[in-house]
Structure 1
Amino acid sequence: MKQMTRTQLVTMAAGGSLALLLGAFLFQALGYAPCKMCLWQRWPHAAAIALGAAYMGVQTRVLCWLGAGATAITSALGAYHTGVERKWWQGPTSCTGGGDGLLGLTGGDLLPGSAVDAIVMCDAVTWQFLGLSMASYNFIFSAVLMVIWVIAARKAA
């Protein structure tokens, strides 16, 4: 079996980030509004996509290491978010906690004239499949993408 080239690996890794980011936007379009921590996890994917595109023009190993770093960051954020959802540790006070005083309030209640529909708490799982939340899947898939970036970085040109 023929081994993949560095360019093919970078394409796979950046394409994986693109797929995860598009999936996040699809879930949002289907009505699953993201919380603050969900939004944090999107930015490193955007960086990984940009690094993959930059690699196509300037094929340097440094961009592969930066891609690995970006996916490591979003994977770590996904792991942290998973822990917050499962109540293993406290999350940011701006979107977690008892939230009892916020239950039932909409964004419009808090910000009159705002187009915000509802406050999404970071410690509440809004969707899950096979017992894993979107944050958990981001953690797992992003860790796999990080490994692909590392393999690409270590591969001879």
Structure 2
Amino acid sequence: MARKLMLLAAAGSLALLFGAYLFQALGYAPCKMCLWQRWPHFVAIAAGIVAIFAANRVVALAGGLATLVTAGIGLYHTGVERKWWEGPSSCTGTSDLSGLSGADLLSTDMAGRVVMCDQVSWAFAGLSMASWNAILSLALALLWANAFVRLSRN
């Protein structure tokens, strides 16, 4: 049963990543923090692949920690979007342009691709993609934790 929970949780991370890339393909470019939220999902998916061959507490812990990390980044991102706290200056409205050269400022290479982390580009039921990632990733972390507990009983 623990292996099934781990595979279900890894499949959940795969589904969230698929959704993120689908939104990107539909024209919703990700900001820097959106990209940060993707990396832990890759770790959770890798843990799920390992669980196919070796479902143990270390793998369950790795998957659980990965989903908690992405949930934490999602919560932080949500706070930045809602102006509860400041985000990284490199992707929020408080960016300092003093480190850029004149050529950088005049370059059209980045035109249309810069997405601010403090702006919500899509929301459903009043929650942004970052918020949904945080909520769903916490649910996935619970699956990983359940698997860990089951493996600890054996």
Q: Same fold (TM over 0.5)?
A: yes
What CA distance in whole angstroms lies between the structure 1 residues aligned with 2:130 and 2:64? Answer: 19
CA offsets 1:21-55 (integer angstroms, 9 cap, x no match): 00000000000000000000000000000010011
What CA distance in whole angstroms lies between the structure 1 residues aligned with 2:7 and 2:118? Answer: 34
Out of 64, 85, 88, the position equivalent to 2:84 is 88
Paired residue for 1:118? 113
Out of 23, 28, 35, the position equivalent to 1:32 is 28
What CA distance in whole angstroms lies between the structure 2 residues aligned with 1:118 and 1:129? Answer: 23
Paired residue for 2:124? 129
Out of 75, 100, 119, the position equivalent to 1:79 is 75
Q: Against the structure 1 CA distance between its residues 116 and 20, is the aligned structure 2 distance closer, same or farther, given a 3 Å change threshold?
A: farther
Paired residue for 1:70? 66
Paired residue for 2:101? none
Normalized per residue, which structure has more helix?
2
Q: How many residues align?
A: 147
Structure 1 residue 143: Cα displacement: 0.2
What CA distance in whole angstroms lies between the structure 2 residues aligned with 1:146 and 1:63? Answer: 13
Where 2:91 maps in the other structure, the secondary structure is: coil
Structure 1 residue 118: Cα displacement: 2.3
What CA distance in whole angstroms lies between the structure 2 residues aligned with 1:155 and 1:41? Answer: 28
What CA distance in whole angstroms lies between the structure 1 residues aligned with 2:110 and 2:77? Answer: 26
Larger mean Cα displacement after TM superposition, 136-145 or 51-60: 51-60
CA RMSD of aligned residues (A): 2.1
User: Aligned partner of 1:131: which letter?
Assistant: G
Larger mean Cα displacement after TM superposition, 75-84 or 51-60: 51-60
Where 1:82 maps in the other structure, the secondary structure is: helix
User: Aligned partner of 2:37: which letter?
Assistant: Q
CA offsets 1:69-120 (integer angstroms, 9 cap, x no match): 0000000000000000000000000001246x8xxxxxxx847363763210
Question: Is the contact between residue 14 and residue 49 of structure 1 (CA under 8 Å) also seen in structure 2?
Answer: yes
Q: What percent of counterpart residues are identical?
A: 55
Question: Is the contact between residue 6 and residue 147 of structure 2 (CA under 8 Å) also seen in structure 1?
Answer: yes
- Identify unmatched segments of 5+ residues in structure 1: 102-108
